[in-house]
């Protein structure tokens, strides 16, 4: 849940980098909350109202964390638009999301893996 809340706090931050673990944990909690919303829709009989509101509320945070994940692989956040190409675009984007971090510092900032591995200085 910590990863999800971090993504929500940084929902307007389209700069920097996000580790693979942070991204996929956000996706996991997004899916869990979406299923809960779908169940609520089914129980109270409002069809897609709650799930639609949830999806709209999560649109900007989802785009921003995906952009930061692409930055971590050394790509621009604009690569998300490749998903508009049917089938192939989604597959290419999925491959980009599962790739390991770009080693060292890139145009988008320092590697968050290396930053987390450094001991805290007093």
Segment 62-71, tens digit of pLDDT: 999 999 999 9
pLDDT value at position 117? Answer: 55
CA distances from residue 68 to 11, 35, 36 in whole angstroms, order as listed: 11, 25, 27
Report in angstroms the alpha-carbon separations of 75 from 52, 66, 87, 106. 30, 11, 20, 10
What pTM value is reported for the model? 0.83
Which tens digit of pLDDT belongs to each residue from 80-108?
999 999 999 999 999 999 998 888 888 88
Indicate whether 116 pLDDT > 70: no
H-state helical runs in 47-99: 49-57, 59-72, 88-98
Measured over the CA atoms of residue 98, residue 101, residue 102 and residue 108, the dihedral's sign is positive
Q: Which residue has the higher pLDDT, 36 or 13?
A: 36
Q: Which of 112, 98, 114 is nearest to 17 (CA)?
A: 112
């Amino acid at each position: 849940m910590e990863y999800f809340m971090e993504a929500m706090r940084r929902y307007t931050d389209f700069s920097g980098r996000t580790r693979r673990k942070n991204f996929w944990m956000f996706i996991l909690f997004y899916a869990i909350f979406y299923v809960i919303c779908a169940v609520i829709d089914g129980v109270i009989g409002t069809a897609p109202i709650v799930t639609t509101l949830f999806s709209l509320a999560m649109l900007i945070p989802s785009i921003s964390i995906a952009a930061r994940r692409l930055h971590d692989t050394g790509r621009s956040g604009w690569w998300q638009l490749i998903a508009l190409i049917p089938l192939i675009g989604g597959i290419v984007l999925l491959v980009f999301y599962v790739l390991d971090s770009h080693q060292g510092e890139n145009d988008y900032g320092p590697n968050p893996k290396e930053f987390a591995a450094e001991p805290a200085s007093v």
